[in-house]
Amino acid sequence: MPSLVLQDGQLTKLVFIPCKDASCSEEDTAIGRYTVMFNPNTIAVKLQVDRDGTQADGETSAPMTFKRIKPQDYSFEFVIDGTGSNGEAKKEVPNEVEQFLKVIYNYQGDAHQPNFVKILYGSVLLKCVLKTVDITYNLFTPNAKPLRAKVNASFTSCLDQDLSEMINNKSSPDLTHLRKLKRSDKLVSMANTIYKKNTYYLEVARANNLDTFRSLPEGTEVYFPPISKK
| Whole-number Å distance between alpha carbons of 71 and 112 | 22
* Residue 157 shares a structural domain with residue 177: no
| Whole-number Å distance between alpha carbons of 58 and 46 | 34
DSSP bridge partners of 93: none
* Residue 92 shares a structural domain with residue 188: no
* Residue 108 shares a structural domain with residue 137: yes
| Whole-number Å distance between alpha carbons of 52 and 33 | 41
Q: What is the pLDDT along the chain (230 residues), one digit of tens a residue?
A: 333 344 444 568 999 999 988 878 788 999 999 999 999 988 899 988 888 877 777 777 777 787 777 888 999 999 999 998 877 778 899 999 999 999 999 998 888 899 999 998 876 788 899 999 999 999 999 999 999 999 999 999 886 544 444 445 545 554 456 777 777 778 888 888 877 776 778 878 877 777 777 777 787 778 777 665 44
DSSP-based three-state secondary structure for 179: strand
Say if 58 falls within a structural domain: yes
DSSP-based three-state secondary structure for 101: helix
**What's the predicted TM-score (pTM) here?**
0.64
Task: Count structural domains, the chain.
Answer: 2
* Residue 22 shares a structural domain with residue 59: yes
* Residue 22 shares a structural domain with residue 119: yes
Say if 230 falls within a structural domain: no
Say if 148 falls within a structural domain: yes
* Residue 44 shares a structural domain with residue 131: yes
| Whole-number Å distance between alpha carbons of 95 and 86 | 19
* Residue 114 shares a structural domain with residue 128: yes
Q: Give the domain extent around 181.
A: 171-224
| Whole-number Å distance between alpha carbons of 28 and 110 | 12
CATH, residue 43: 2.40.30.200
* Residue 70 shares a structural domain with residue 46: yes
* Residue 77 shares a structural domain with residue 50: yes
